[in-house]
Structure formats: C-alpha cells, structure tokens
Amino acid sequence: MTRRLTGFQPTGKLHLGNLLGAMRPLVARQHTTDTIAMIADLHALTLEHDPATVRATTLEVATVLLAAGIDPQRTPIIANSQIPEHVELHYLLECTTGFGEAARMIQFKEKSAGGGPVRLSLLTYPVLMAADILVYDVQQVPVGDDQNQHLELSRTLATRFNARYGETFTVPEGVRPESSARIMDLAEPTRKMSKSASSTAGRIGLLDPPEVIRRTIGRAVTDAIGVVRHDPQHQPGVTNLLGILAECTGREPGEFSSYGALKREVTDAVEDLLAPIRARYAELSKDPGHVREILAEGKTRVRPLAQATVRRARAAIGLLD
C-alpha cells in the first residue's frame, strides 16, 4: 500500500478548513492507504509559543483527529517530538542543505518579515519537515499550494543525499488533496481560513458551540451584488459559502433567494457535520490518558521504520554505528 503522511501543527484550534481539506480526505482513504497522521508539535516551537498551550493543543489535536473518525488501528497518530529520530535526521539533512536554499523559502520570508526576533528553527523548519517525511519512506504527501515549495525541498534533499552518499531515501511525491476544498476566511474571504489568524471572526472551530457557529456564519462577509452565484473573483464570500455547503452536504447547492437563506442552510449543514464530532470529542476528553496511549501506540508502531532509516542515513553519511 502507498504510504502517506499528513501533518497538523498544534498552533491553534483546528477549524473547518483543516477538517474538509485534510482530515476528511484522510478518513475516507484510511482503508486503502497506509497513512501516518502526524502532529507537528516540534514545528509549533518555531514561532513565539507558550509551553502549556502547545502541550494542551497537541492533546487536543490528537483528540479531534480521533473524534473526526481517524481509526488509530489503521492510521497511527504520532507527535513528531516523541520520536527522536525526526530530530536526528533533521540534523543529518541540515548537513545536506545550503543556507540560501532555506532562506529562499517563501514562508520563511513571510513569517520572518515582521521585524521581531526570528528563531533559527523557523529557517530550518522545512528541513525538519523533510525529516518528518523521509524518516518513514513516505511515497506521497498531500500538499496544498502553500506547502509545495517545502515538499520540493524534501525531494531535492532526498535526491541529493542519495546521489552523494548512496541510495538511502524514498523520494516523496506531492499529491493534490482529494478534496480540492480550500476553505476561506469568512471575514476576509480572499485569505484561507487559518488557525493562527489573530481574529476568530472568520474561522469556524471544530469544537465551536452551535450558537458561535450560527453567529460566525451569520456575520460572514458577502457583497452588495445581492445574487447568490459562484463567482470567486467578484463574490468571494458568497462563493466560499457555496463551497462550504457543497463540501458539507456532498452535493451541489440549489438556488437561493437571498444571502440570509444561503447562510441559514450553510449553518445547518455545518452544524450537522460538527455536532457528532463535538459529541465524540466530549466523550474522549473524559479520558485524556486514553489519548496519550493512542500516541504511545502510534509511536511503537512507526518508530522501527524511523530507526531503520536513520541507521541507513548515519552509515551512508559517514558516522560510526
């Protein structure tokens, strides 16, 4: 079976975009693909962070993944910090990466542009991401446009390492997520819905209570055109709402006489999708020990793969065993 890796950063509350763009496609393929669901808690340390929040969010993400239907028997759920081979391989790959190559990454440029202190780990983040992928001989990585450049770097590093030191890594291939869903921010519909956006006005959290969902969708930005139609260029807000409706219900939306009518139907569809996840999350949260066990089981299952890769890489690059 093809091996895939899908990552989630514990940098904030998971949202509808994470569910429709990543978690649901993962659940749909878990019988036909050998996927590892990775919580990238090491990546959450690359920006200003609060230790207790990262710890709590890592457990929350694991719990939401389970609540959304990921079966840990089929899809191991891991935190990259708990498997030390990620960090070891990160270093070996750093010794294969040029400074300029890392500094060219668009996300590094964007995230370091504010003028504040920049952590060195922000620069080397894509190399850690390469380690996360290469350490498991992953063949396919579902990537959105914003991660394309990082995946390309992983491919470059794997190919270069193999050429210099002998065949060591599987060169991963980027695949488009099955769902083409790119869920946009409800308050600023030309930006994607994001965990780390400072305002929550445009984001539907997967654990938001029904009244918050109703309010957020009710206040979603539309336009003054007054006609409900799919027109990303001139009506990005309305188009986003239609897209969310189609994704949630699995069918093309019908006709709507007003923006209010559209918003009411979107609210019902989102609520129908999220209510069972919220209920399972509440059930699972009663036993946080269980979620920690799932992470420990995931680690036990995948670590031998990581150890074998690091053993190969160490030998190839010239280290003693």
- Strand 140-142, strand 77-79: pairing: unpaired
Pick the closer one to ligand AQP by CB: 140 or 168: 140
Contact 40, 132 (CB under 8 A): yes
18 is in an annotated binding site: yes
* Helix, strand, or coil (residue 184): strand
Give least dist CB 6 to ligand AQP, A. Answer: 6
User: How many angstroms separate the Cα of 5 from the Cα of each of 50, 56, 139, 247?
Assistant: 27, 23, 9, 23
Give least dist CB 37 to ligand AQP, A. Answer: 10
Give least dist CB 9 to ligand AQP, A. Answer: 4
Is 195 a known active-site residue? yes
**Strand segments (E) across the chain:** 3-8, 34-39, 77-79, 140-142, 173-175
Long-range contacts of 197-204 (CB under 8 A, 24+ apart): 203/13, 203/15, 203/16, 204/15, 204/16, 204/270, 204/274
200 is in an annotated binding site: no
Which of 13, 109, 111, 286 is catalytic? The answer is 111
Give least dist CB 193 to ligand AQP, A. Answer: 4
13 is in an annotated binding site: no
Query: What residues line the site for ligand AQP (CB under 6 A)?
Result: 6-9, 11, 17-18, 20-22, 144, 181-183, 192-196
Which of 13, 109, 192, 299 is catalytic? The answer is 192
Pick the closer one to ligand AQP by CB: 29 or 195: 195
* Residue whose tokens read 């969708």: 217
Rounded CA gap, 44 and 92, in Å?
21
* Helix, strand, or coil (residue 4): strand
193 is in an annotated binding site: yes
Phi, psi of 35 (to 5 degrees): -105, 145
Pick the closer one to ligand AQP by CB: 4 or 195: 195
9 is in an annotated binding site: yes
17 is in an annotated binding site: yes
Which of 13, 109, 195, 286 is catalytic? The answer is 195
Is 192 a known active-site residue? yes
Give least dist CB 214 to ligand AQP, A. Answer: 20
Pick the closer one to ligand AQP by CB: 72 or 205: 205
Rounded CA gap, 169 and 103, in Å?
24
Pick the closer one to ligand AQP by CB: 194 or 235: 194
What residues are labeled active site?
Answer: 111, 192, 195
Write out the binding residues for L-tryptophan.
Answer: 132
